Amino acid sequence: MSTKTIHGNSQFQKPPSLRWTWEPTGGQFHNEIDHIIFNSKYCLTDVFVVPKFHTGSDHRLLRAKVPLFASRKEGRKVQEKEFQNNHQL
pLDDT of res. 6? 79
pLDDT of res. 38? 82
The alpha carbons of the chain give a radius of gyration, in whole angstroms, of 19
Does residue 63 contact residue 48 with C-beta atoms inside 8 Å?
Answer: yes
Euclidean distance between CA atoms 80 and 75, whole angstroms: 9
pLDDT tens track for 16-55: 888 888 888 888 888 888 888 888 766 788 888 888 877 7
Euclidean distance between CA atoms 43 and 36, whole angstroms: 11
Rounded to an integer, the average pLDDT of 64-83 is 63
Domain boundaries, the chain: 1-88
